[in-house]
Amino acid sequence: VKIADEDESPVRWFRINTILTTPEAFFKDHEFFRNLQPVSSIEELKQTGVIYQDDYITNLYGVHPRERVTSTPAYEKGQVIIQDRASCFPAHILNQNPNDIHKYVIDACAAPGNKTTHCASFLPIDSTDAVIYAFERDSKRVEILKTMCGKALGQHKKNLIQITHADFTSTDPNDFKDVTGMVVDPSCSGSGIFGRALEDSQKEENGDQEIDTERLNKLAGFQFKIVKHSMKFPSARKVVYSTCSIHPHENERVVVDLLSDPELKKLGWKLDIRANVIPSWERRGWKEEFTSLGNAEECEKLAGGCVRSIPKEDGGIGFFAACFIKGAPGNETEA
């Protein structure tokens, strides 16, 4: 089996870490980035020496994968965070409305911490009462999470993220009464990551689908459990569920199961509408997966509450995100 290496990524994406700098100061301070020529599309990143500012995610830039971004002083200082564009979707979706920034957030599956620090970057720079609670179950990965968050926050902001080494599903929702926003990015098959996507498609060609389905369904069951737990927090009104999988078993089918769950229905959880979930991103959820929940028009609306990204074709990894909402007036879905 051929494993595609990282350099086959069409774009090297990086986020300017606005916790430590501003885009203006960043380009002023760092000659390497200042000298890159702006281009207007990712297709133009086929050569080095150019830089693309993303249309969808604020403060996100793309360069040719051969650019040595990680060798720059800006990276050393934590001012640059390497993060695929689609992986930036969850924190962006959570805080899509600038008038409704979530100040108390849980990142349920946090390590290595890219989404954690991205959520923190939306908090007002002078806020003293905002917190991102980051949970990580794995003891090795929690250490990586601490390092990454420490680097991204710097000394003066280190209380912005509170890291807990624990299984998120064992937390008591009533201990987090202020939390309104949730990012749930659980373990998945990783089939959207280049090497693994290639492996999977070759397995299917070889007729190995059954083994995969069993594994996918097991992962999906775990994802359902952890997202459902996040929906029981008393003040939670927005939950963004994501995976780096391309398979509907883990993605749309988990969403359908959550929407069909009697307890969650009673709590009022619904899928958000496209207008609130990166509306200009064309690739949405697979509407055929929602047929058990309504007619064609309703399926279209539900699929609109999800975004998908195809590996490479969409300029990075394969990804899925869905946005659930509950409660507050003006926060309801029409679907």
Closest CA to 39 of 59, 17, 62: 62
State in angstroms the smallest separation of the CB of 146 from ligand SAM.
Answer: 13
CA quadruple 291, 293, 299, 301: dihedral, nearest 10: -170
Give the H or E element holding residue 152.
helix 139-153
According to the binding rule CB under 6 A, does residue 164 interact with ligand SAM? Answer: no
For 270, other C-beta atoms within 10 Å of its C-beta total: 20
Which of 149, 244, 299, 323 is catalytic? The answer is 244
Nearer CB in complex with ligand SAM: 51/197? 197
Lookup: tokens for 193: 């990551």
String marking each residue 176-195 x if it binds ligand SAM according to CB under 6 A: ---------xxx--------
Nearer CB in complex with ligand SAM: 135/290? 135
State in angstroms the smallest separation of the CB of 297 from ligand SAM.
Answer: 33
Q: Is the peptide bond between 112 and the residue preceding it cis, with omega within 30 degrees of 0?
A: yes
**DSSP secondary structure of 289-332:** GGGGGS-HHHHHHHHHTEEEE-TTTTSS--EEEEEEE-SSTT--
Among 12, 64, 92, 137, binds ligand SAM (CB under 6 A): 137
State in angstroms the smallest separation of the CB of 187 from ligand SAM.
Answer: 5
Q: Is 119 a catalytic residue?
A: no
The residues pairing with 125 across neighbouring beta strands, listed in sequence order, are none
String marking each residue 95-134 x if it binds ligand SAM according to CB under 6 A: --------------xxxxxxx-------------------
Given the rule CB under 6 A, which residues bind ligand SAM?
87, 109-115, 135-138, 141, 167-169, 185-187, 226
Which residues carry out catalysis? 244
